[in-house]
Structure 1
Amino acid sequence: MSSLTDRLAAASRDRTTTTVASTDAIPVNGKTKAPKNAAEDDFRELKATVHNRLLQQLGPQLYDAELTQSELEQMVRATLQEVMADDQTLLTPQERTRIAQEIADDILGYGPIEPFLRDPDLTEVMVNGADDIWIERGGRLNKVEGRFTDEAHLRRTIDKIVSRIGRRVDESSPMVDARLPDGSRVNAVIPPLAVDGSLLTIRKFSADPYTAQDLIAFGSFTERTAQFLEACVKGKLNIIVSGSTGAGKTTTLNVLSSFIPSDERIITIEDAAELQLHQDHVLRLESRPANIEGKGAVDIRDLVKNSLRMRPDRIVVGEVRDSAALDMLQAMNTGHDGSICTIHSNGPRDTLARIETMVLMAGMDLPMRAIREQVASAVDVIVHQSRLKDGSRRITHVTEVERMEGDVITLQDIFVYDHSYGFDENGRSLGRLRSTGLRPKFLEKLAHENVHVDPMLFAMDGM
């Protein structure tokens, strides 16, 4: 420890000299970076030493199930201050603060990505190996300085995340979907599937979920569109939110679900529970992967079937990606109006084709016309969302599903995103969601639910 102390003290004393002299240094093949790297290595070594002493002092108390999170945090930080106070290494106050914060993040949080998870402006954190971390801010990707100590450190962090919700990731099951306590979506892939080291992707969700007014402020849709969609939800229309990966479907689904009256019984079904509803009567169901023996899996389709026996007023499915589409259509067609779900697709017409494909995945030998009749009867509205070139997420279509004409389902756009406005000097889209001037056929159906829509919402001017 003494040699480490001497080296770190020398590095601390030389830091000012190195900084002043750096203007005269001539970088040759990056050699001028050597002192900084050596000091950083010493810093990491000291951090590891303090970390180990902290673990020795606290021991099994870290895993005491009777301790609350706040009590555990107070205990760790108090002990950490004692250990740091006992250490005689010459460190600046900033370095001591950094060591304390990084160790606290490792024990209480998720290591080097914890500061990014706390940042409310970030929407995604991507770890492409132990020393390669990227973030998404404002729709743009940026590489950051943080890094894990090694692959083992990254694997421990992944295990900490997935174990808290009873899931696992190992060589026999090297991919996992999980969630953080705030609902943020987590995906992890480890070797041998991930060739260059474990991969971790976290799509953050705000602790305070976005409201319709937030999406209006972001430009995702307009005030008139929000009023129309609120009427559709309250009028118990069946709605599908479609779009590509990262287009903001789950956020829009959360906003639409917030329009459901608080006196209704709502059942949410998801792979990883992300929706944040504040109504009084919400039942949350989450699918379960198979255990280590390959048994015990409960998929979305099983949960949709079971939800029909739970006296739901509304069924909200986080994402339909397989044969669960057939059961969802059956639910919509058997009196469970007002259901909402999301589907990956490229547009409203493609959404219908995706549903047909997923119904066929159920293995039922159904003629295509029968499937399309089911879809036309079940689905009322498609809300399609896209992620534009500037990184913004916008609703581009609000489309009515009308009826069958021959062998084709007819669609009618109610609101469409107008791209003709182009982009500003910063490359940000100037387009907007505009009314087509067409009135949907289901207004009479809304009236039967005592929901009335102002006809001026469909006027073409004044958007």
Structure 2
Amino acid sequence: MIGAKEVYVKIRRQIFDALDPEVVSEVSRPDLVKQLQSAVDLLIQREQLALSKLVQQEFVNLLADELIGLGPLQNLMDDESISDIMINGADSVYIERNGLVEKAQVTFIDENQLLEIAKRIASRVGRRVDSSSPTCDARLQDGSRVNIVIPPIAIDGTLISIRKFKKQSIDLQKLCEYGAMSPEMAQLLMIAARCRLNILISGGTGSGKTTMLNALSQFISDKERIITIEDAAELRLQQPHVARLETRTAGIENTGLVTQRDLVINSLRMRPDRIIVGECRGPEAFEMLQAMNTGHDGSMSTLHANTPRDALARVEAMVMMATNNLPLEAIRRTIVSAVDIVIQISRLHDGSRKVMSITEVIGLEGANVVMEEIFRFQPNHQQSDDGKVRGSFITAGLMQRSVLMEKARFFGLEDKLSAAFRAGESV
């Protein structure tokens, strides 16, 4: 398609100069495509350009995508095999497919086109991005999460990161089929969720923390009132009694800011049975722990950490952001009495996600937190022919003072829990 880009840029400029944005917003896509088809045909004839019908149709689709969609990104958004889209400037677009990152065969005409699309994404969800507010976190209409950074903060051009919203929720059985965990681990997590244990899900970016949180939430009773708190609403709970809260950034006059901490504090006045915080990243961790310790057991959250012990250390640091007058020992006692289970998830170098560890928080011995690993993934260090990470999920069983066993006994699930361990030990 030699010279086609230059021709498209010329046609695009003429059509965009003649369009009324308000009229475009009121026209359906089929009608807009017909009008654009007529306009493109007219301009091609007037300029006496030799273009095939296929190229002309491609021009029309590109124009329609840019006017009412996300421009060059629209095809990537429509491709369900893509989980993440990362734009590092007009000529550098990367995607993640099946856990692996690759460069996409998509470019923007120039920085101005990319910047306009970034501003349109923000404006559609009631946010703004400009020189006075060069960063933006938002949620698209389909539920996808988007982060935008524009110059001068972004040195080499506008940056857009999109975490796409999966239309189908993945449950624990699916995670077992994908090799993320064993059926015995899934059984244990199902029991932990039903028995109202407080659960932290720890892992890196893109490791599957929100997917795991969604999967665990499916085992919450329909009779419970659940409050969810998120920066960008991603959780899809199936229970009938769910109240969803979402943070809000400050407006133009730097007013109207609503933080996760504000929402956690407010949620305690809403008579919740469980509180689910999409991701703990700051002072809201203090209120979250207080809630877990004051009758809202069965609460869940995610955070970024590399190991279960690191996860508790991060919670310590987040609590210190909220209060500087609590001694470290008191903070640790609060954490130990609040958190029951830490699930560690990782994305491995072959693109797969695995539950690396399920660890129970036992208590304090002196100043040290005692943790017991219930299940762990033991990788096979021999290189496989296809480059896939292989290994086995192993368990050492439960300790005598396990909170999980006590809760399972209380909820009448002790036999199911014991069966999971008998099967796990025989693997």
Fold conserved (TM > 0.5)?
A: yes
Residue 210 of structure 2 aligns with an amino acid whose one-letter code is: T
Alignment length (residue pairs): 419
Q: CA shift at 1:50, angstroms?
A: 4.2
Structure 1 residue 430: deviation in Å?
0.7
Match in the other structure for 1:43: 8
Task: Indicate the larger mover: 256-265 or 242-251.
Answer: 256-265
Q: Which of 223, 226, 249 does residue 266 from structure 1 map onto?
A: 226
- Picking from 21, 25, 43, the partner of 1:63 is 25
Aligned to 1:166: 126
Q: How does 1:81-92 map to 2 (within 5 A)?
A: 81-87=37-43, 88=45, 89-92=49-52
Question: Which of 390, 405, 408 is the aligned partner of 1:446?
Answer: 408
Structure 1: gaps of 5 or more residues: 1-14, 16-35, 65-70
Q: Is the 8 A contact 2:192 2:404 kept in 1?
A: no
| Superposed CA RMSD | 1.9
- In 2, Cα distance between the equivalents of 1:458 and 1:387? 25
Q: Give the corresponding residue for 2:376.
A: 416
Partner residue, 2:421: 458
The letter of the residue matching 2:14 is: T
CA distances 1:385-423 after superposition (whole Å, capped 9, x unpaired): 111121211110101111111111111111101113544
Structure 1 residues 76 and 310, CA gap change in structure 2 (3 angstroms):
same
**CA deviation vs aligned residue, 1:81-104 (integer Å, no higher than 9, x gap):** 343454535432321221121112
Asked if the contact 2:277–2:300 (Cα under 8 Å) also holds between the matched residues in 1, the reply is yes
Q: Which moved more, 1:79-88 or 1:382-391?
A: 79-88
2:179–2:354 Cα contact (<8 Å) kept: yes
Partner amino acid, structure 1, of 2:5:
E
- Alignment partner, residue 267 of structure 2: 307
1:23-43, Cα deviation, whole Å (9 max, x unpaired): xxxxxxxxxxxxx2x343123
CA contact (8 A) 1:395 1:433 kept: no
Q: Counterpart in 2 of 1:21?
A: none
Identity over the aligned pairs, expressed in percent?
43
Cα distance in 2, alignment partners of residues 231 and 210 from structure 1: 18
Aligned to 1:208: 168
Is contact 1:124–1:203 with CA below 8 Å preserved after alignment? yes
* Separation in structure 2 between the aligned mates of residue 276 and residue 231 of structure 1, nearest angstrom: 20
Paired amino acid for 1:216:
C
CA distance in 1, matches of 2:425, 2:298: 30
> For residue 4 of structure 1, what is the aligned residue in structure 2?
none
Counterpart Cα distance in 2 of 1:169 and 1:203: 19
Say if 1:242 and 1:384, in contact at 8 Å, map to a contact too: yes
For 1:355 and 1:144, how far apart are their aligned partners in 2? 38
Whether the 8 Å contact between 1:239 and 1:381 is mirrored in structure 2 is yes
Contact 2:198 2:338 in 1 (8 A): yes
- Structure 1 position 277, deviation (Å): 1.8
- CA separation in 2, counterparts of 1:450 and 1:164? 49
**Amino acid corresponding to residue 273 of structure 1 in structure 2:** A
**Pair 1:177 & 2:137 matched:** yes
**Cα distance between partner residues in 1 of 2:420 and 2:265:** 37
- What is the rounded CA distance, in whole Å, between the counterparts of 1:215 and 1:93 in structure 2? 46
State the match for 1:284 in structure 2.
244
Give CA-to-partner distance per residue, 1:231-276, whole Å, 9 cap, x none.
Answer: 1111111000001122111111111122212232111101111112
* CA distance in 2: counterparts of 1:202 and 1:276, whole angstroms: 18
- The answer as to 2:23 corresponding to 1:72 is no
Q: 1:98-117, aligned counterparts within 5 Å?
A: 98-117=58-77
Distance in structure 2 (CA, Å) of the matches to 1:159 and 1:279: 36
Tell me how far 1:462 sits from its aligned partner: 4.2
TM-score, normalised relative to structure 1: 0.86
Structure 2 equivalent of residue 365 of structure 1 = 325
The 3-state SS of whatever aligns with 1:320 is coil
1:155 Cα shift?
Answer: 1.5
Asked whether the 8 Å contact 1:422–1:431 carries over to 2, the reply is no
Q: Retained in 1: the 8 A contact 2:285–2:315?
A: yes
Q: For 1:120, what is the secondary structure of its paired residue?
A: coil
Alpha-carbon displacement from aligned partner over 1:29-84 (angstroms, at most 9, x marks no partner):
xxxxxxx2x3431233234434555x24xx523334xxxxxx72233233233434
Partners of 1:285 and 1:376 in 2: CA distance: 27
**Equivalent position of 2:288 in the other structure:** 328
The structure with more radius of gyration: 1
Stretch moving more, 290-299 or 79-88: 79-88
Q: Does the CA contact (< 8 Å) of 1:239 and 1:379 recur in 2?
A: yes
Q: Is the 8 A contact 1:422 1:429 kept in 2?
A: no
Residues in 1 aligned to 2:213 and 2:82: alpha-carbon distance in whole angstroms: 20
Per-residue CA deviation, residues 96-118 of structure 1 (Å, 9 max, x unaligned), is: 22112111211221111111111
Residues 149 and 159, structure 2, Cα contact 8 Å, conserved in 1: yes
Q: What is the distance in 2 between the residues matched to 1:451 and 1:183?
A: 36
| CA distance in structure 1 between the partners assigned to 2:283 and 2:208 by the alignment | 23
- Residue 391 of structure 2 corresponds to 431
CA contact 1:325–1:355 (8 Å) conserved in 2: yes
Scaled by the length of structure 2, the TM-score of the pair is 0.93
Preserved CA contact (<8 Å) 2:81 2:97 = yes
Give the AA of the match of 1:76. Answer: L
SS of alignment partner, residue 153 of structure 1: helix
Query: Contact 1:161/1:179 (CA < 8 Å) preserved in 2?
Result: no
AA aligned opposite 2:22: P
Q: Which runs of 5+ in 2 are unaligned?
A: none
The 3 A distance-change label for structure 1 pair 94 and 344 is same
What amino acid is the match of 2:202? S
Tell me the SS of whatever aligns to 1:361.
helix
Q: 2:189 aligns with which of 206, 229, 237?
A: 229
